[in-house]
Amino acid sequence: MLISALVIWLLPVMSLTAYAAEVSETITFSDYKESETATGTHFKVTADDGIDEYGGITVDFENAMTIESLNGEEITRVILSYSWDDDKNTVSASPGTYDGANTVSGVNATSVTVSSTSEVGVAFNAVTIYYATANDYTITIPDTLEVKNSGWNELEGGITASGTLESGKKLVITASSDFDFNFVMSGDNTAKVPYVFTSKDSGDGKSYSDVKDGGITSWTFDTLSEDAQTQSAGIVIDDYSDKPNGYYSDTVTFTANLENAGPAVVAVTSVTINDAPSEALFVNSTGTLTAIVSSENATDKTVTWSSSEPDYVSINATTGAYEIKGTKGYGSATITATAGDKTATCTIAGKVTYTSLSTGTVLHTGDTFFTGNSVYFKAGNSNMSLPANNGVITVVEETSGSNAYYRFKRGSDGSTALASQYKKTDSTDGIYITGGSGTSKDRFTLAVHTK
């Protein structure tokens, strides 16, 4: 089978200049009562005598009104809206020409001043500012693509663009096909070979079926310069050896359009963590970290939190709320705040009330201990051991029926231990060690501690 060419009806080099005709912005002064200036998106209006309480600007023999570009746009003409215009024949503009009615034309500058020789004055309630924008770009696309084999066939030279774009615009080149991206045999429209447009990264080494749902028919240039930028393009086509012999072709038309680029992305420049504790906190303590993200106007100031050791310090990825954990003992963790591609870190450390136990030690509600070894107790007629892998042990009050009891809570899984004889009353504040050394042969004994 002979597939001669994919014919692209776009000149090899075409220079296109697009002008945004009659682009305008209207600024209504009633939105800025009793202010000196009225500021829009592209322009600001400054009144020598200010904007009055009714939303008007008065221009007279002493006071003028100036319209200025905020971003360098060139003003072409201005339409004046009057509150009263008895002396509108006294109005003039510089630069530009006032037509005696309501239009200043021929400005062709980034600012214009409207004045009047009237002693009574002329009042305006709004202005409509027309400005010129120009986009000049050159697009280069080869006029043919000859299929040489199944799979990837590259458009030699790709799609190239150079020139200038106004702020807030992007150049989008789209492709459309006479036969819906099928090569069709001359003289027999039923003999077709489908293909997919894509980039080299997505198409090289792949089959049509691999990329048919991920093909592209548009190429976007977010910025342009005098130096040409090139984006790869080509087609992926399946094996066509079973097709009837003939001459197959398709015509693809490329169209260039300017589109709004959307607001510029302002990157994060730094992250600073606030409220980090300056000393170790007891296991089970909680708190919340906050962060300051700069720049102030960064597009996305979302902060994500993480912990290097969540068994020691856990932290909520979204809120920054943290807890000192005793899952496998106590220790420190590096906390990282990430915003954009910037990070900040701090260290939060945990501690326990007791790192060793002995006869006479009083364990109040909320106290914690971790010795790093197994600790053995004799509780009434029962023996109990708390190995190191139980994590940090916390003294808690646990309710059973109408009574509350002192118990040991394991940091590893939150389960509790101790018999029910250690009852909490209004006169007690915990339990204490009455004897023993805490070994398997000399277990600690316990009793309820009286206030």
pLDDT at 419: 62
Q: Radius of gyration of the chain from Cα atoms?
A: 39
State yes or no: pLDDT of 262 exceeds 80: no
State yes or no: pLDDT of 5 exceeds 70: no
Work out the pLDDT band at 408, boundaries 50, 70, 90.
very high
State yes or no: pLDDT of 18 exceeds 60: no
Question: What structural domains and CATH numbers belong to the chain?
Answer: 2-15+136-260 (2.60.40), 23-132 (2.60.120), 270-351 (2.60.40.1080), 362-450 (no CATH)
Q: Residue 244 gets which letter from DSSP?
A: P
Helix (H, G, I), strand (E, B) or coil at 137: strand
pLDDT at 420: 67
pLDDT at 280: 97
Q: Read off the pLDDT of each residue in 226-236 and give the average, rounded to a whole number.
A: 91
Q: Please state the pTM of the whole predicted model.
A: 0.50
Lowest mean pLDDT segment, chosen from 74-88, 196-210, 401-415: 196-210
* Of residues 22 and 412, more confidently modeled: 412
CA distance 407 to 399: 10
Q: Read off the pLDDT of each residue in 139-145 and give the average, rounded to a whole number.
A: 83
Burial class of residue 251, CB neighbours in 10 A (0-12, 13-18, 19+): middle
Q: Read off the pLDDT of each residue in 181-201 and give the average, rounded to a whole number.
A: 87
**pLDDT tens digits, residue range 80-131?**
999 988 899 999 999 999 999 999 999 999 999 999 999 999 999 999 999 8
> Can you list the positions of beta strands (E) in 280-438?
281-282, 286-288, 290-294, 304-307, 313-315, 321-324, 332-339, 342-351, 362-364, 368-369, 375-379, 382-386, 393-400, 403-410, 416-417, 428-435
**pLDDT tens digits, residue range 413-447?**
999 987 667 999 999 999 999 999 999 999 999 99
Is the peptide bond prior to 263 cis by the omega test (within 30 degrees of 0)? no
Dihedrals phi, psi of 213, to nearest 5 degrees: -90, -5
CA distance 7 to 29: 56
Work out the pLDDT band at 64, boundaries 50, 70, 90.
very high
User: Which structure tokens are listed for 285?
Assistant: 């303590």
pLDDT at 167: 72
Residue 440: CB atoms within 10 A of its CB come to 10
pLDDT at 16: 32
State yes or no: pLDDT of 247 exceeds 70: yes
Q: Read off the pLDDT of each residue in 137-145 and give the average, rounded to a whole number.
A: 83
CA distance 186 to 44: 62
184: left (phi over 0), alpha (psi -120 to 50) or beta: beta
* Of residues 383 and 355, more confidently modeled: 355
* Of residues 150 and 111, more confidently modeled: 111
